Amino acid sequence: MTEDVEVRTHETIHITILRARHLKGHRGDAVTSFAKVEFDGKHLGDSAKVETSPDADAEYSFTTTLDCSFADGNHIFDDIASKPILVTITEVLPKEKKQKEEKSSILGQCTIDMLPLLSNSTSNITTSLELQPCPGSPLETVQPDLPKAEVDVMVAVNEALLDHNLLQQSNILTVRIGSLYSPPESWTAVGTQYNYTIGLPVPVSSEKDTSLIFANGAFKLATERELSKRKMKWHSVPNSVAHSQFITTSCTSRIPVDEEKGDFCGKTNKEQRAEAELEKPRVTWDVERRCYLGNEAKSELQMRIAHTRLWPVEIMRTTSAQVKGIAGPGTGGKKDKSSSDDDGQVSFHGIAYVDLAPLLYPGVKSVAGAFKLHAFSESELLEKVKRKSAIADSVARVQSSTSRVTGSSPVQKGGKAQAGKEPTVAVPSKKGSGVKQSESSAEIGESVHAAVNTEGTAYKDANSFVYLEFLLATPMVPRREPEDLAELVREYIPPRPQFKRAVGGAQKAIEDYHSQLSSVAVMVLDEFRDAFGPDVFEQDSGQYPEMHQDRKRQLLYQLNSSGKYFAFKEQLKHSIVKIVREKYMKTTTFQNKDDLQQFLSELYVYLVDEMHLALQKVLSVETEETSSVEPFLNSSQLKMFAEEAEVNGDLAAASKYYQERLALDEKNPDHWFDFGSFSLLIGNNTKAKECFKEAVSLQQSYIDGLLMYGIMCTIEESYIEAEAVFERATSLAEANLQSPSLAWMILALFYDIQGNEIRAEHSYSEASKLNKTSQQTTDKNSGAPTEKQDSSHDSDLNAATGTGSNVRTQITGSAKSISTVKGTKSTGKKETGRVKSSTDNSVVSNDLDEKPTEMAEDPNLHQKQSIMGNSPTESVFLQAAKWLLDRKALRFAENALSHELLSSLGNPNAEYYIALARLNMMRKDYQDANKNLESSISLNNEHPDAWSMKGHLNYVAGNFVEARDCYERTLAFVTDASETHAIYLRLGSIYLQEEQFSNAKRIFLLACKHSPTCLSWFGVGVACYRLGEIEEAEDALAEANILNNKNAEVWAYLSLVCLKTNRRLEAEQSYKNAIKLGITDEEILNEVHQLQTVVGFGNPSF
């Protein structure tokens, strides 16, 4: 690969064996030994023989070299990543009598992992390795409390093998093969011995693959328990024995089942996994193979995963050549020819399809899990992974050819059996086609495929699966750091600069002048008291005015003679200069004396006036405490009034209330956010986006604002900006633990809209995982059990997203989409509801219109789980849908509900139908809303939100009797509906129409108790007036008028009350206000006119 070829042609690796400690020989602690260094079966050199005593280390100080040629591209890098340096410490036994040659015995071995030379820009490795004893070595008998034998080694290169550019372009793929569980029943540990092999392809370039073959799987019975932490074995270490075959730095434990990405990660598979792993035999490899991926190979791997997602991993069983090739008694040590011909024949050919798409998730570096085994099929292989050749063909060919030469499995090069080498090879092959085979190999391949259909199905019958791990050194798709995202968001939405406190200015100059005057006045007053204090108190100064002049002259003389007058003048000079500069802006010399004189006159007059103001404050006997007047209505009340106006369909009033909140505090991001949501409701997307942008500019970490701004960017198809904003929201939510599952869920919906399935799947998985963690934390804090969850719903969620989790939330704002008829005596008009949203925000999906025809077996299942939304198993989809509906983001809410329908496998719960009905009502699709509410009630006929929305629907349609029944039923439930204010107002208005004034008064008083507004007090006033309780009616109407003095109907009823109580002036004034504000209720206006005619006053036109 030309882009990955290094400029250097070769590099030399220097391997130094420094010393060995705590050695123990066959004949005591005095040991004569030497070190032997090997790499991939090649002998690199031996050290000199060194004698050592118990008190001294064996100082070898031996250095050898390994030449690395870059001519073969990345082959040498792959060898360095996957193969270690083998160090063997051998004891030289002393010669016995008549012994011509020295005898030696291997004490132990250790392996040097050279992966750090490829993982970073390091140029040397210095470490101490534990010497693993060989069978029969004296080191095996060392007591556990005594120090272990160690070897100090150093590996160095003159220049780093990979520079910074190559490190960025390359990657290391690590494949770990665990165990095959629940094998076919025909597999046993007795009888004929077989070789169990796993193989998979790895790209070397865009046109070439290499086949990784893992042989010698060990068949183990269920009685041989697996350790929780296991060391992985090297893929290939020729001449190694015993524990030196293990990677010392690769002692890992498997991830929890819930975090796996395989086919058996759901809760429904836990029992099956436990039974297979603990009670059935298995085949174990526990081998790790590292592959160096250059730039081209890395891109090819990423492209294939993106196109097919699945990666084939084949498994097969071959007859062990070590058994069939050994000659029986009386054969003279010759092998049976027929048995040699059958070596390498493949049987039980199966395949697992590993979904490696998670490796394309941002920041993800591993995929691990249990993957189901299927019978191998060439057509299925071609269909799923677009690959024609099978790894089994290479395995059969290689094992057949090598066994004829060696009489054993293919374990080494050159035809010599070397102990300890793992019988695994990497077989290059062309992408999409196999290497040209001989006739014998072709015959073997035909027999293989003929047996697959019968033997391969045994995996399915036994429900077999294999545990695999795929790891990358660096993620294929790096995740952007929170700091980078914050900077990116600041570029899109510059933060609103804080207003600097003015350190100068005219006002500050005047305040300083007042301060200095106050200080001088206090000091002059002290001087006066010291000089004339006793005389002033003894005499009446009003009778002797000449004494004032005399005391004034004495005081001025004392101040001048003491120098204090000059000091006071200097103290005032600086503040006067500031007034001249800041207020009069005079900084240059005057052109003539007249201008100067005129300016001095004006300045003198101004300074004297300000002096009088300052002295009044200083000399006043009682200073009135000036307290800032608090606004009568606070932010929460204004928001409540705005939401009430939305329900009534009075959008102009709602907009006025939201703007009043902004005027109250324009630096509060919540005020901008709520106004943005309202603007989105009425279809003003431009205004909505500006409001959300303003909210984020005021507070860069405002998560809700970031999410809604990203939604607005999505509506405008500004996808790059939207993605950055959404990612920033997820990072902030995770850091602050503020509904992180919601942020990830909305990001997933964004990727869904883009059609990015892999990113969407990752976001759904993260949302479900965080949702589950949040639920467990909530249950732990509340003392609720966490083990028993709704496994059926969890498995349904897996069907849609690949993971499962649910959480308890509350329903919010289900009644905020319908208009309300105002509380009058009677009216037959139907009020219009909310205005329709913009087209971009109201896309209707066909998926949501289709109603499931089959219901769950237990129709009361959802009713048992969810009463009034306190469901312990509410999915992330439903949570997101409710949040989005509250913020009027209808398009995203519809997508979330679509996923909820898929996750429930066509059997959604009552909460889903309620949320869908809210969506329909916001879009004025009342027919579909009614159908969804009927479905919700059929699933849970005690859900207050369903009945309340049913009442709203009938109310808008003018069916007031049915609406009254629904509202009364809603209020009769033990649990309140999520939004009761609209219920109280509408039920009270119905009672007024039906002239049930006592019930209307009671209901409106309940509304005033929970959330007092102008309309709630107005309803109380109307009911009391109709009952003849004029005094109570006046009090209630006065309260309503205080909360909103722009309501014409309130003024009309106040006029009626004043007419009843014979108050001419107030009745006339109330009538004038009602007319001025444009009263539209003709019935009330006629009633006022009739009463005015009866009493003879109240109308100025008489």
What are the tens digits of pLDDT across the range 178-203? Answer: 999 988 888 876 766 788 899 999 99
**pLDDT-wise least confident of 126-135, 230-239, 621-630:** 621-630
- What's the pLDDT score for residue 1026? 92
**pLDDT-wise least confident of 294-303, 482-491, 686-695:** 482-491
Sign of CA dihedral 355, 358, 360, 366: negative
Q: Which residue is associated with the tokens 């005499």?
A: 539
Q: What are phi and psi of 235, to 5 degrees?
A: -70, -35
Give the percent of the chain with pLDDT over 70: 78
Distance set, CA 1046 to CA 187, 1008, 1088 (Å): 88, 19, 18
- What's the pLDDT score for residue 816? 34
Instruction: List the strands of the sheet with 150-157, edge to edge.
Output: 58-69, 10-21, 150-157, 124-130
Q: What are the beta bridge partners of residue 367?
A: 470
* Structure tokens belonging to residue 682: 């009425």
Q: Is the pTM of this model over 0.75?
A: no
What's 255's DSSP letter? P
* Structure tokens belonging to residue 282: 């298995």
DSSP string, 488-527: HHHHHSPPPPPPPPPSSSHHHHHHHHHHHHHHHHHHHHHH
Please give the Cα distance from 1003 to 1022 (Å, whole number): 12
- What's the pLDDT score for residue 708? 93
- What's the pLDDT score for residue 805? 35
- What's the pLDDT score for residue 97? 65
Please give the Cα distance from 126 to 440 (Å, whole number): 50
Specify the 3-state DSSP secondary structure of 315: strand
Q: Give the DSSP H/E element, type plus range, for residue 1031.
A: helix 1030-1043
Specify the 3-state DSSP secondary structure of 683: coil
pLDDT in tens, 541-579: 455 667 778 888 888 888 888 888 888 888 888 888 888
What number is the average pLDDT over the span 951-956? 90
HSE of 187, CA atoms in CB hemisphere, 13 A:
30
Distance set, CA 848 to CA 159, 843, 935 (Å): 63, 11, 13
**pLDDT-wise least confident of 275-279, 609-613, 822-826:** 822-826
**Under 8 Å CB-to-CB from 789, ≥6 apart: which residues?**
267, 806, 872, 873
| Whether the predicted pLDDT of 343 surpasses 60 | no
What number is the average pLDDT over the span 522-538? 75
- What's the pLDDT score for residue 801? 43
pLDDT in tens, 590-649: 888 888 888 888 888 888 888 888 888 877 654 444 444 556 678 888 988 998 888 888
Which band of pLDDT confidence, cut at 50, 70 and 90, is reported for residue 823? Answer: very low
- What's the pLDDT score for residue 833? 34
Q: Which residue is associated with the tokens 């879009």?
A: 923
- What's the pLDDT score for residue 3? 47
Tell me which of 998 and 338 has the higher pLDDT. 998
Give the percent of the chain with pLDDT over 90: 24
Average pLDDT of the chain, as a whole number? 78
| Whether the predicted pLDDT of 328 surpasses 50 | no
Please give the Cα distance from 74 to 205 (Å, whole number): 10
What number is the average pLDDT over the span 911-935? 91
Q: Can you give the length of the chain in residues?
A: 1102
pLDDT in tens, 960-999: 999 999 999 999 888 888 888 999 999 999 999 999 999 9
Least Cα distance to 16 among 66, 53, 71 occurs for: 66
What's 871's DSSP letter? -
Which band of pLDDT confidence, cut at 50, 70 and 90, is reported for residue 1040? Answer: very high
Please give the Cα distance from 879 to 809 (Å, whole number): 7
Burial of 549 (0-12, 13-18, 19+ CB in 10 A): exposed
Please give the Cα distance from 1091 to 1071 (Å, whole number): 12
What number is the average pLDDT over the span 1021-1036? 93
Specify whether the CB–CB gap between 15 and 66 falls below 8 A. Answer: yes
- What's the pLDDT score for residue 191? 60
What's 28's DSSP letter? B
Least Cα distance to 340 among 366, 320, 365 occurs for: 320
- What's the pLDDT score for residue 711? 93
**Under 8 Å CB-to-CB from 1042, ≥6 apart: which residues?**
632
- What's the pLDDT score for residue 536? 61
- Quick one: residue 355, left, alpha or beta (phi over 0 = left, psi -120 to 50 = alpha)? beta
What number is the average pLDDT over the span 204-211? 85
Tell me which of 321 and 934 has the higher pLDDT. 934
What number is the average pLDDT over the span 642-660? 89
Most confident residue range from 168-172, 239-243, 581-585, 850-854: 168-172
Which band of pLDDT confidence, cut at 50, 70 and 90, is reported for residue 787? Answer: very low
